[in-house]
């Protein structure tokens, strides 16, 4: 059998571990590593590739994909795939694969961590103590967990992990996901609702949707104004899912009470952003998926995915499962 030709498009200075190259070679994959800083370099490197492998944030546009007629799959190492034109790939018979299971527990943990940091006011307490102030009475907590409602927008792996971990706190948990049957949500002990109901009923709203044309600015002024004035918004998915200007107004004018944010629109967060001056916001720099084991998990799932493709098997995580692929793959 002819080896599967894979071009690793390296744009963020992430070296490939030696064991990755060895395992892929043994699995029938011809790996080529190509640093790319321009469209010309990317197209030249991937011209005869069966698979384009993106690690980090190099971008494949619809126009660039048209110039890669041999490409049958794009592997994006990571949970998101917003740097890949999924609809255009589907039209061209190109499978879009990613590795969401690598860090779903880490992102779920970080989501919960942000929520706790906000509602327990951990950051201002810490800051006050470091500045020599013992302010037990000044920082009265505005929230509690037991009996309140957590709303999850999107109910994929990460949201389900959040739901399972938070059920022990005796919260009422709601979820909205138009791509899932209600029975799938109910099976997790979570109540399926429409987004309007979720926003109006939830004390805490957490976002877990991929970024696409349909989810960009999914949360804007209308949605923020429909939330409770005492509610908290948590975002660990993608920054542009939220209209950041509207969110800043919402936090300044009291449409909602607070937010915990790991992602922003755009990134990195500008040093002049009003979010940096707000006491009712906890911020982290897009690190929700990071842990001592996450990088190894990304590599191992990527290697497993490429070997599955080389063996003619359907990948585990596909962003466009309805695609008619160029290759014959066993599901």
Q: What is the pLDDT along the chain (331 residues), one digit of tens a residue?
A: 678 999 998 766 778 899 999 999 999 999 998 777 777 888 888 889 999 999 877 788 999 999 999 999 999 998 888 889 999 999 999 999 999 899 999 999 999 999 999 999 999 999 999 999 998 876 667 899 999 999 999 999 999 999 999 999 999 999 999 999 999 999 999 999 999 999 999 999 999 999 988 999 999 999 999 999 999 999 999 999 999 999 999 999 999 999 999 999 999 999 999 999 999 999 999 999 999 999 999 999 999 999 999 999 999 999 999 999 999 998 8
Q: Output phi, psi for 301, to 5 deg.
A: -70, -35
Number of domains in the chain: 2
Is the Cβ–Cβ distance between 49 and 329 less than 8 Å?
no
Asked if 253 and 151 sit in the same domain, the reply is yes
3-state helix vs strand vs coil in the chain, percent to 5: 35, 20, 45
pLDDT at position 243: 98
pLDDT at position 1: 60
Asked if 191 and 64 sit in the same domain, the reply is no
- Cα gap 256→225, rounded to integer Å: 8
Residue 267 known to be catalytic? yes
- Cα gap 284→29, rounded to integer Å: 37
Residue 323, in any domain of the structure: no
The string of pLDDT tens digits covering residues 256-301 is 999 999 999 999 999 999 999 999 999 999 999 999 999 999 999 9
Residue 147, in any domain of the structure: yes
pLDDT at position 59: 81
Q: Output phi, psi for 260, to 5 deg.
A: -125, 120
Is the Cβ–Cβ distance between 47 and 64 less than 8 Å?
no
Residue 327, in any domain of the structure: no
Residue 230 known to be catalytic? no
Asked if 82 and 149 sit in the same domain, the reply is no
Q: Which of 286, 300, 308, 311 is catalytic?
A: 286
Domain harbouring 257, CATH code: 3.40.50.720
Q: How far is CA 285 from CA 118, 241, 288, in A?
A: 16, 16, 8
The string of pLDDT tens digits covering residues 169-181 is 999 999 999 999 9
Asked if 86 and 210 sit in the same domain, the reply is no
pLDDT at position 149: 98
Asked if 269 and 123 sit in the same domain, the reply is yes
Residue 63 known to be catalytic? no
Asked if 88 and 129 sit in the same domain, the reply is no
Asked if 181 and 142 sit in the same domain, the reply is yes
What's the whole-model pTM score? 0.91
Is the Cβ–Cβ distance between 139 and 126 less than 8 Å?
no
CA 320 from chain centre, in angstroms, equals 16
Q: Which of 186, 267, 279, 313 is catalytic?
A: 267
DSSP 84-102: S-HHHHHHTT-EEEE-GGG
Asked if 109 and 13 sit in the same domain, the reply is no
- The parent domain of residue 244 ranges over 104-283
Q: Which of 76, 110, 121, 238 is catalytic?
A: 238
pLDDT at position 11: 60
Asked if 119 and 94 sit in the same domain, the reply is no
């Amino acid at each position: 059998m002819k080896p599967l030709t894979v071009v690793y498009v390296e744009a963020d200075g992430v070296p490939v571990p030696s064991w990755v190259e060895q395992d892929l070679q043994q699995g029938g994959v011809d790996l080529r590593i190509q640093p790319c800083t321009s469209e010309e370099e990317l197209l030249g490197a991937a011209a005869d590739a069966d698979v384009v492998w993106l690690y980090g944030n190099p971008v494949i546009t619809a126009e660039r994909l048209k110039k890669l007629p041999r490409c049958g799959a794009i592997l994006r190492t990571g949970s998101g795939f917003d740097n890949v034109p999924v609809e255009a790939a589907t039209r061209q018979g190109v499978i879009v694969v990613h590795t969401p299971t690598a860090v779903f527990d880490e992102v779920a943990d970080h989501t919960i961590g942000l929520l706790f940091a906000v509602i327990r006011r951990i950051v201002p307490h810490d800051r006050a103590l470091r500045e020599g102030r013992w302010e037990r009475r000044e920082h009265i907590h505005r929230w509690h967990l037991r009996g309140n409602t957590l709303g999850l927008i999107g109910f994929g792996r990460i949201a389900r992990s959040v739901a399972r971990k938070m059920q022990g706190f005796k919260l009422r948990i709601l979820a909205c996901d138009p791509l899932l049957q209600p029975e799938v949500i109910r099976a997790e002990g979570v109540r399926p609702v429409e987004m309007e109901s979720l926003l109006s009923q939830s004390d805490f709203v957490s976002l877990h949707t991929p970024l696409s044309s349909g989810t960009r600015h999914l949360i804007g002024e209308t949605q923020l104004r429909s939330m409770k004035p005492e509610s908290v918004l948590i975002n660990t998915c993608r920054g542009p899912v939220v209209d950041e200007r509207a969110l800043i107004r919402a936090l300044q004018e009291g449409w909602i009470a607070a937010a915990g944010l790991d992602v922003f629109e755009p990134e990195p967060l500008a040093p002049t952003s009003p979010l940096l001056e707000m006491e009712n916001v906890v911020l982290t720099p897009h690190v929700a998926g990071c842990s001592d084991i996450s990088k190894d998990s990304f590599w191992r799932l990527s290697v497993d995915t490429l070997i599955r493709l080389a063996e003619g098997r359907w990948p585990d995580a596909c962003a466009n499962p309805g695609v008619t692929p160029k290759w014959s793959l066993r599901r």
